[in-house]
Structure 1
Amino acid sequence: MSVSDPSLKELKGLTLKLVQASNQTEINDSNVHLQPFCQSLEHIFQKGLLLQTSSLGFPRSPESWYWLEEIANKASSPSYNYISSVNTVKLSQKVVTAVGKLRHLIRICLVNRCLHVPVEILIRQQQPGIVYNVKNSIIGDDILGEIFLSVLLQCSRLTFNLNVKNCSFLDDTWMLPVCEQLEFVPCKVLGISISFVNGKAIVIGVKENSVAAEDHKIQIGDILDELNGVHITTSTRNKLSKIMKKAANQPVMTNIIKAHCGSDYLYPPIINLLRRCHIDPNEVKSMYLKTKTQTDDQQELKNNSSVLSSGFSVIYVGCITTGSEGDVKQIELAMTALFSGVERISQPGSFEIQEIGVRVVRRDSGDVIVKHSYMEISSCGRTLMYPRYFAYIAGDESCSVAKSFTCFVFHCSDEDLIYKILQSIVLLCIPGQGFQRTHFAV
């Protein structure tokens, strides 16, 4: 075999790119060269394998995982890091095929800086011919095997910071999903409903105002990969309540595989799982984009919090009761009724958008004119008839239980400013949408 094997040449080029990247920072899963680098390693490990025999004496498909595992068990001097890496893969329930185990092992060994260990043992003991066809493999060739080992030794000096828990799809692909480790406050239930497909726990519902719904941390289409350190699969579906109870009064730790890929498209292997759950992938995508837009708007609002909290110049016109109704339709009726009255308040003030509510204070004295929490505000808006006026309706207590509502009306000469005030109130008042379909509740 030529010493310029294209597979080895490709690996050396990718290694050089990782070395250059490591000069600025550690190598993590976001590195664009990592996936092709790992694919190149897999190809070389698999290339030229001889047909192997199982422990029962039957032939089995040639997979490099088997000899890599055997070296950890039988070799005279494998490093502790390598033995530990192999044992981690063997204990993992997230990868079940020999291909998935090899891919998982490659990633763990890169982190533990020991991928060179099994190759070095095989070459130094002059036994590559037992595993590989010398004529069409890299590891089985005397010269190419040494070159490959030197590349692996160079990799052992790099710092790989990879999320090795993100391995549930390695049986199928090297393409990794977005995987988030989330911590929730102690609770009895998370507020999600899940359905199992191919051993994966697909989130099909998120209860409104639940712990899981906070900041849209878990969304429909996501996968509950781990719960309090336990890998969630079909075999654990009847144990979810026990897992939660076992960690009572402690933070709930989860590993969530996101349906989206951090942009406007879904993780491809999840799409078929969604369809089998009777979930439209396009709806999941639409919900994600909607949530992302709301989140971006809220972040912009937060970034401008100093401007918002300093207040906008308005004139408090007055208030009028709307009885037991607090919906947005009452605003036009309330304004018409208020403006038809003979007496109206005309009190200059500063309209402040705060973290927990709104308040209007006199600019001269700082005295509070009106003040309401977002929980009390049921609606806000303006009308075409009075374009320079706006209003919000608030209940006598939290609007979900309030029995009496009042409309508070303000004037502002800047219509763009009115839009900004109303948009801010809407973003801070309206909760996210929930889903009530129940299969397995957590």
Structure 2
Amino acid sequence: MPVSDPLLKSLKYLIEEFYSIDEVVTDGSPYLASFCQTVEHAITKGIKLGSWDHFKSDGQSIRRKQFWTILEYFHASQTLPLAISTAVRAAQNNKSLKHNDGRLRYFIRQCLIRRTLHVVVEFLRTRKEELESSWYDSNEGNQEQHNAATIITHEVLAEQLRSLLLTVSTSITFEINLENFYFLDHTWNIPDMRTVEFVPTQYLGIGMLYIDGYGIITKLRAGSVAADQKDLGIGDLLVTMNEYMLFPAKKSGDNEIVSIWKKCRKKDNPCRLTVIKPRCPATRGIFPPLRRVLSEYQDVMDEYYNTQKERIEEKLREAEERKATSLAPEANKAGTMSVAESNSGCGRHSVTYIGKVFVGEQGGMGEIEHVIKSALVEHSAKAPVEVILEITEIGVLIKTKEPTESKPLRAGKKDNVQSLLGASFDLLADDDIDKVTLPVYSEEDASDIVFNHKFADISSCGKIVRDEKHFCYIAGDTFCTISKQFHGYVFTARSLGQAKLILNSIYQGFKRTTFFM
């Protein structure tokens, strides 16, 4: 039976997968992390754990640390080839890497870029006796066995490993970002890193929340320079500002984000930010090291909502009492609010619900006009529904109103439809007019909740400039920062003033539930 090793078979399979996709491998490749991890396991297999308490520690982590010690030993003795010595020095000089695990991973990524990974094996094969005497388990008597104790010091297996890595060096191009090293101390998975640059400004418009050293972006204020950057988003991790390290984040001191921002602003220099996106580029799932932090972020926001519950309910009861005593019947029909409700941003509005439109993965302001027009066309044959749009301290509730009767609109009565649809009347075909029915509603509001969206779920809201009464908001199926499914909800207001009041109230809701920088 020929001598082989399961790690070498895995390595060969991963190389073939690289060929099947593309000859250029990037950080977004689904096989890059597995390939690098397999290389690491192959070169560290058989390293002696020594006196390490490996019953309480990760055995592979100890092997990584030991292998890095081997590289530093030969680097200090100036016996390493120049190509390998340069990569070792680069890992040593990277002050962002705090552990030898991260330095070894960075070293391997350096060798992939420099096409010198096979040289590491070639050099270590020349130091077989020294390695077996001090660092590796001996293969003595095991040269013909199917699964040897080590690969590096095994004559046949080391040659197979060298041949595989030589194939990688000569026929596969790695276009990986060596500046993306912030999580190499923890994992082989490489996050999606983005860099943005702002012109000199006095205000960025970024809201931050600190969780265990992670500075998470919680708000991009509308109209700010940060909101105009497509590479910035809610849930991003801020790691550098003008080359100053912000990860792990600090709440005070010279390297705290506000202090660094003041230095940039004082010098009137452009501001350069580096962020880590919450989704992994290879799998599009949540980046594993950020799962706990984002989950805790969600818990913090839920706790905030819960602590406000009694206060919210009390305010709603007071608003109901004020509405019953201070609003005239005409004001109720128009869907207006009391002064106190208006100041708090909360209140109940009687509006007409047009329909719901699927938006897709993007829920930004650029989708508003499309959503409104699509809803008016898709739902033109359906009877409009009178609803109560209630804005609370934590979100938006849509409640139904039961019609007492419904009567069809006769052909030729286009004035009634035009009065209902306003400036969007021209989107309806003549055949659609005959299908419209006009329900007659009572003044009593039903309590059935149709939709319930927290402000954290709502990604945008607005109206078409030339359309006075129609407005909408767009919400995801979960937090808008991580949602991939957005829907638009379109309504008709009683007046332009009411539409603006509702949109402004939703905007105030954003302000009440966000921490600002």
Structure 1 residues 438, 89: closer, same or farther in 2, change over 3 A?
farther
CA RMSD of aligned residues (A): 5.1
- Corresponding position: 1:213 with 2:302: no
TM-score, normalization by structure 1: 0.61
Match of 1:68 among 66, 71, 79: 71
How many angstroms does 1:300 deviate by?
11
Which of 26, 34, 37 is 1:36 aligned to? Answer: 34
Task: State the distance in 2 between where 1:290 and 1:93 align.
Answer: 44
Letter in 1 for 2:69: Y
| Separation in structure 2 between the aligned mates of residue 172 and residue 13 of structure 1, nearest angstrom | 25
**1:28 Cα shift?**
0.6
Matched residue, 2:260: 243
Question: What pairs up with 1:18-417 in 2 under 5 angstroms?
Answer: 18-19=18-19, 21-23=21-23, 26-51=24-49, 61-62=62-63, 63=65, 64-80=67-83, 82-126=84-128, 127-129=130-132, 130-135=134-139, 136-157=149-170, 158-214=172-228, 217-234=231-248, 237=251, 238=253, 239=255, 240-244=257-261, 245-246=263-264, 248-261=267-280, 265-277=285-297, 279=299, 292-295=361-364, 298=367, 379-381=468-470
Distance in 2 separating the partners of 1:49 and 1:250? 50
Cα 1:21–1:278 change in 2 (3 A) is closer
- Structure 1 residue 107 displacement after superposition: 1.8
For residue 37 of structure 1, report the CA deviation from its aligned partner: 0.9
Q: Is the 8 A contact 2:264 2:270 kept in 1?
A: no
Deviation sequence 1:266-323 (CA, Å, 0-9, x none): 333312113434546999xxxxx9893325964996xxxxxxxxxxxxxxxxxxxxxx
- 1:4 offset after TM fit, Å? 1.2
Q: Distance in 1 between matches of 2:105 and 2:369?
A: 41
Paired residue type of 1:149: R
Match of 2:378 in 1: none
- Asked whether the equivalents of residues 204 and 224 of structure 2 are also in contact (C-alpha less than 8 Å), the reply is yes
Do the aligned partners of 1:209 and 1:431 also contact (CA within 8 Å) in 2? no
- Per the normalisation by structure 2, the TM-score is 0.53
Deviation sequence 1:342-372 (CA, Å, 0-9, x none): xxxxxxxx99xxxxxxxxxxxxxxxxxxxxx
Using the TM superposition, give the Cα deviation of residue 161 of structure 1 relative to its aligned residue in structure 2, in angstroms: 0.7
**Paired residue for 1:321?**
none
Query: Take 2:48 and 2:301, find their aligned partners in 1: how far apart are those partners?
Result: 42
Report the Cα distance in structure 2 between the residues aligned to 1:199 and 1:106, rounded to whole angstroms. Answer: 27
Who is 2:8 aligned against?
8
Once the 2 structures are TM-superposed, how far is the Cα of residue 264 of structure 1 from its aligned partner? 7.3
Q: What per-residue deviation string (whole Å, max 9, x for no partner) do you get for residues 90-116 of structure 1?
A: 333443233232222222221122223
What amino acid is aligned across from residue 76 of structure 1 in structure 2?
T
Query: Matches of 1:227 and 1:431 in 2, distance apart?
Result: 29
Residue ranges of structure 1 left out of the alignment (5+ in a row): 55-59, 284-288, 302-338, 341-349, 352-373, 383-389, 401-425
Of 292-301 and 163-172, the range deviating more from structure 2: 292-301
Q: Is the 8 A contact 1:48 1:132 kept in 2?
A: yes
Distance 1:393 1:170 in 2: 56
Counterparts of 1:290 and 1:282 in 2: how far apart (Å)?
26
- Using a 3 Å threshold, how does the CA distance of structure 1 residues 435 and 227 change in structure 2: closer, same or farther? farther
1:34 positional shift: 1.5
- Identical columns (%): 29
| Structure 2, unaligned runs of 5 or more | 53-60, 140-148, 304-357, 371-414, 417-425, 428-462, 472-491
Distance (Å, rounded) in 1 between the aligned partners of 2:178 and 2:508:
32
CA distance in 2, matches of 1:268, 1:432: 34
